[in-house]
Amino acid sequence: MKLFKNKKKLCKEIKSFKNIGFVPTLGGLHRGHKSLIKKSIKISDKTLVSIFLNPKQFENKKDFKNYPKNYKNDIRILKKLKVDYVYMPSYRDIYEFKTKNKIILDKFSKKLCGKHRKGHFRGVIDVVNRFLEIIKPKKILLGNKDFQQLILIKKHIKKNKINTKVIPCKTVRDKNFVAYSSRLRNLKKYEKTNLVRIVRALKKYKRNLVSRKVNYSFIKIKKKLLSLGVKKVDYVEIIDLETLKKPKKNKAKFNLFFAFYIGKVRFIDNF
């Protein structure tokens, strides 16, 4: 495994490789990241993982400061997985150059998390675009847990005709169906217990929506979540995975999307 902190040295090293799989991360690696990396290793000649805690996608300075960091552990995990390359740029290394591509934010960016995190998706698309211009990977692997982010990156790539394919990867969950997330490390023990109960309730709610035992009601599900220990609910919405709008047909394939706070930790997921 080779570690780079300088884009010029990295580009020199990888320029001859045509089938690079790229996994962008903020660090704080967990089983979800491991799954993406293992898939990349399987389908690519070389795998490159970036670790960069990008301040531009954090609208809250406290959230940025409190984001779980353990770079020594991240490097240990990546060595064990036999990743080919790791890119850990400084802020200057990633932002000092002018990009060729225009940052394209699809209208879907105004929904879900976009309503509650001003500037977040512009920060995400900007940094991912910079990585793509530096690395020029054949594939970028992204998790379905961050479905909105995945779709926006996909649309940006398509509109700019970037020669990188987005590989969506299934969400990795623990035995209680809770999706792995770096932020969960900041939860207290009783908050983790509450999260299990909350996810269980949301899973049941989705089943009832599918079988049409209940009709969607934000007020009712919000009240239920608050009674289970949620501090604040940003949204609970049903979205058609094809139209990216509220499902109209009874048979439309939809997911339940949600974001809420347990204590100071914001949790998002969809299923």
Residues serving a catalytic function are 33
Q: Where are the beta strands (DSSP E) in 36-81?
A: 46-51
- C-alpha 228/C-alpha 88 separation (Å) is 39
Question: In this structure, what token pair is assigned to residue 63?
Answer: 């959230």
Q: Where are the beta strands (DSSP E) in the chain?
A: 2-4, 20-25, 46-51, 85-87, 139-143, 165-169, 232-240, 254-262, 265-270
Tokens 């399987």 belong to which residue? 42
Q: Decide: helix, strand or coil at residue 262.
A: strand
Half-sphere exposure of 195 (CA within 13 A, CB side): 31
Q: Taking the CB of residue 257, how many other CB atoms lie within 10 A of it?
A: 19
b vs e for 26-56, b when ≥16 Cβ sit within 10 Å of the residue's Cβ?
bbbbbebbbbbbbbbbeebebbbbbbbbbeb
- C-alpha 101/C-alpha 230 separation (Å) is 40
Cβ atoms 130, 95 nearer than 8 A: yes
Half-sphere exposure of 104 (CA within 13 A, CB side): 16
Question: In this structure, what token pair is assigned to residue 92?
Answer: 């200057």
